[in-house]
Amino acid sequence: MEPQKFYDTIEELIDECLEIMKAKGLAYSGKSDSFANFKRVAKNLSMSPYQVWYTYFAKHLDSLASWIREEYSDSEPIESRIKDLINYLFLLYGMIKEEGDECCGCPEPGTFIDIDERHDQSSRNFMRTKKKTDPILR
């Protein structure tokens, strides 16, 4: 594909993703908080909003993996799943921005994250890191 055609395709894709997000966002979260669904479910399940986000994201990622393995049999075309994955990444970006974190608070490579049980606090505030030796990184 020629670069300009590719860029045009991506612009069209982003427009479609935004339309989907606007339509689904109202249904899931309402008008006042784009991340309300993640926060409500997190509180109900004693999880962080990021854990809830990952659960939703992983469902679509698993569908993509099935498609790659040529085992995908869903009524929804794979292109729709890809749009959902893109939108979930947009949502994650927004959640991070809401906290004022511009991805600079990520743990160092080789650091594992343990989540404690204080789910009522902001998810970033109750994450604590423990340095552990990672045999893969040795």
- In tens, the pLDDT along 67-120 reads 999 998 888 899 999 999 999 999 999 999 998 854 555 555 445 555 444 344
Per the prediction, the chain carries an average pLDDT of 80
Joined tokens for residue 59: 């469902």
Task: Examine the pLDDT at 30 and tell me if it is beyond 80.
Answer: no
Query: What is the average pLDDT across 51-56?
Result: 96
> Which pTM does this prediction carry?
0.70
Q: Which string of b and e fits 117-137 if b means at least 16 CB within 10 Å?
A: eebeeebeeebeeeeeeeeee
CA distance linking residue 64 with residue 104, whole number of Å:
29
Joined tokens for residue 135: 């045999």
Task: Examine the pLDDT at 13 and tell me if it is beyond 80.
Answer: yes
Output DSSP code: residue 131: E
Give the residue with greater pLDDT, 86 vs 31. 86
pLDDT band at 130 (very low <50, low <70, confident <90, very high): very low
Question: In this predicted structure, what is the pLDDT of residue 119?
Answer: 41
Question: In this predicted structure, what is the pLDDT of residue 101?
Answer: 55
pLDDT band at 132 (very low <50, low <70, confident <90, very high): very low
